[in-house]
Structure 1
Amino acid sequence: MGTGHSARKESFDANGEVNFDHFQILRAIGKGSFGKVCIVQKKDTKKMFAMKYMNKNMCVRKDAILNVLREVEIMRTLDHPFLVNLWFTFEDEEDMFVVVDLLLGGDLRYHMQQEVDFTDTHVKLYLCEIALALDYLRSRNIVHRDIKPDNILLDEEGHAHITDFNIATTLATGELATSMSGTKPYMAPEVFACSLEESRGYGYPVDWWSMGVSAFELLKGRRPYEIHGSTTLTEVKALFHTSKVHYPSLCDNGMKDLLRQLLEVDPVQRLSTLAGFKRHPFMADTDLDSVLRKEVKPVFVPSKDHLNCDPTYELEEMIIETKPLHKKKKRLAKQNSRKGEMMSQSSTEEMDELQIYLKSIGKNFTPYNREKSLEEQERKKLADLESEKETTESDEPVKQTTVSVEPEKQTIEAETTEPS
């Protein structure tokens, strides 16, 4: 008689360390210079995630390992409703894997290209959600440095989430960043000034400037300054001091003034804190606590009929990619079998190159598991509650028992002294 359970052996250890075998690869949805992103489903929980995978050898050759390690290190410390949060990291012979929240609403750049008509109402909520996320990052001493429509993802309901911490940095108290990092059209004036050696550095206000540029672009269809990758530093400097910004004519005056304060060239005068953002008259009718709880519903809800991304990513992965992810397991198994060892010779060389580099910088790509961390937190919380309960129950009753027992003792003594 059957037991009703499948006799098929699972291809992964559900209780072991999370690795590539724990996920089912569904489809590719994006790519970077040395990494790609695909939708995956965790086999044991059936939860969906986005998985970014980066070729180790390519990262070493492009001198990108430190960026990857810093990004993962930063993301491990973060957990916020308007960020794309980290869930797992692991590696195999070829790649490093970073698994994060899956947001199926697409990025704001995609929706701009689809000619969505963004209004004050749309953009106001995005500004609130991003401002809350930036305030949280500041509380963690983190500057993102690459806020732009491409790095703002929408979930299925239309809420905004900041993604891509590849060039983010952490600032100690009183410290300033100095490197020219970011995407030129969205970089704040003080970043360029620092590169021209006209300032000591820059801090958190750069992200608020970038948010202002992104909001302006959503409303007007173009950026406030004509800055491109080829624009020189001196040309950029001249633009900030000579160009007159023409704010979207159909905008509410309150929105225009908010944009003006976000796009203030002087970082000291710029609106760059959540407290200042709350005080702005345009925010008077908005409860940011409700926004944080996602109780304020977005006007624009992304389509659920199709994936909100460029479909060519999937074609490239299936047709052009020389080492497609969905064939990784068979490829590695074939290599192992042919070589009679755990890795192919080429993979071993790649791994050796990476390990030599990691050893030289004294760092490593270590595994991370948010599920396990949350379970441990929950167990600790329950243990603390149980301990608190036991402590409460052990207090006071001893005194009450002493009081009730003492009269009884006196009665017994009185009875024993009475004559028979």
Structure 2
Amino acid sequence: MGTILNPTREQHQRGDGEVLKSIGVPIYDSRLLSINNNISNISTLNRVINCLRYKQYVRIGGGGQGSVFMLNDGSTPLAIKICGQDQLNLLELQKDALVDSPYLSRVSFTFCNEGKQIMVMDYLEGKDLRWYMNNWPSMLKSRVKTGMAQIGYGLYLLNFNRIAHCDIKMDNVIDVNDKWIVIDFGHCHQIGPWNRVGTHCYMLESDVSITRDSYGWGCIFYEIYQGEPPYSNRKTELEFDKIPDPLLGDLLSKLLHIDKDKRITIEEALAHPYFHDIDLESIKKGDIVPPCN
């Protein structure tokens, strides 16, 4: 099947979707600070270790796959994710060697320190969609089409390389200067029937299929417009015909189909008439696109 998006060589890098055997980001042991590698990374490594030593950090999030902290030593904000060796998801690191998108958070490098795996990332200053849903829902509706196209394109590139995020929800999307960025890849898996995962509150089969992220993406759409997740309050059937925008209703009916084989992919969703007035070329380049309703 042809693609309407035509990712560049640099964007998809491995068209066969095979996950690289190498991790794809620099890995250090904190005891080997004289390692001959990127000087800026080594400088940052020293900074992170000093912040850990003197407890110059504050917790900003976390869950079953580790905790995320922001360094508060007075320098440029930096985020680190700390997890145990048994919590480390190598695919969270490998995906950065496969996919380069402004709509997906990245890990700069990782290192081991006192039995913990520490991932160093840029600090993304913004609020997640859950915060906006609770405090400023009108903003979400004004930005929904452009924002969903942004994270949709990022997820398309991820799925193109046979990786599924597997935990797409409002809490894992941040608005950073009018760009919606997907975060927290601790649950990502290779796409295939041998992998089984789930997302809390979203009723869905647990196989990791090519349409796994389509469902979570559609759930965000649905919740923004309806004010609650699909199938909440013991709902057994969704009433898409009651959604004011008939094109959106049609799109959601295809994204939220319970049968994964009948559900459309994100690539197919971005080709839906609902997105006809979105400049996908600008989205691909990472340009700021004005809100479009």
Matched residues in 2 for 1:167 and 1:279: separation? 27
The answer to whether structure 1 residue 182 and structure 2 residue 213 are counterparts is no
Shift of 1:283: 1.4
Counterpart selection for 2:161 from 140, 150, 172: 140
Matched residues in 1 for 2:59 and 2:158: separation? 29
The answer to whether structure 1 residue 102 and structure 2 residue 108 are counterparts is no
TM-score by length of 2: 0.73
Is the contact between residue 264 and residue 270 of structure 1 (CA under 8 Å) also seen in structure 2?
A: yes
Consecutive unaligned residues of structure 2, counting only runs of 5 or more, are: 1-32
Matches within 5 A, 1:94-243: 94-118=115-139, 120-155=141-176, 157-171=177-191, 175-179=192-196, 181-188=197-204, 190-191=205-206, 201-226=207-232, 243=236
Aligned length: 249
Partner of 1:48: 77
Poorly superposed stretches of 4+, deviation over 4 Å: 247-250
Consecutive unaligned residues of structure 1, counting only runs of 5 or more, are: 1-11, 192-200, 228-235, 300-420
Q: Any idea what SS the aligned residue of 2:82 has?
A: strand
Matched residues in 1 for 2:62 and 2:208: separation? 30
Shift of 1:133: 1.0
Partner of 1:261: 254
Cα distance, 1:37–1:178 mapped onto 2, change above 3 Å:
closer
Could you say which structure has the higher strand fraction?
Answer: 2
Shift of 1:277: 2.3
Q: Any idea what SS the aligned residue of 2:174 has?
A: strand
Matched residues in 2 for 1:33 and 1:120: separation? 31
Partner of 2:272: 280
TM-score by length of 1: 0.53
Letter in 2 for 1:85: R
Letter in 2 for 1:183: T
Partner of 1:291: 283
Is the contact between residue 132 and residue 140 of structure 2 (CA under 8 Å) also seen in structure 1?
A: no
Shift of 1:205: 0.5
Shift of 1:216: 0.7
Deviations 1:257-287 (CA, angstroms, capped at 9, x unpaired): 211121122323322141x224322111111
Is the contact between residue 88 and residue 98 of structure 1 (CA under 8 Å) also seen in structure 2?
A: yes
Cα distance, 1:135–1:95 mapped onto 2, change above 3 Å:
same
Partner of 1:271: 264
Matches within 5 A, 1:63-102: 64-65=86-87, 67-102=88-123
Matched residues in 1 for 2:113 and 2:195: separation? 35
Q: Any idea what SS the aligned residue of 1:27 has?
A: strand
Cα distance, 1:36–1:287 mapped onto 2, change above 3 Å:
same
Shift of 1:94: 4.7
Q: Any idea what SS the aligned residue of 1:85 has?
A: coil
Cα distance, 1:68–1:105 mapped onto 2, change above 3 Å:
same
Cα distance, 1:225–1:153 mapped onto 2, change above 3 Å:
same
Is the contact between residue 145 and residue 291 of structure 2 (CA under 8 Å) also seen in structure 1?
A: no
Shift of 1:81: 1.0
Matches within 5 A, 1:268-417: 268-274=261-267, 276-292=268-284, 293-298=286-291
Is the contact between residue 62 and residue 68 of structure 2 (CA under 8 Å) also seen in structure 1?
A: yes
Letter in 1 for 2:193: L
Letter in 1 for 2:274: F
Q: Any idea what SS the aligned residue of 2:288 has?
A: coil
Cα distance, 1:118–1:219 mapped onto 2, change above 3 Å:
farther
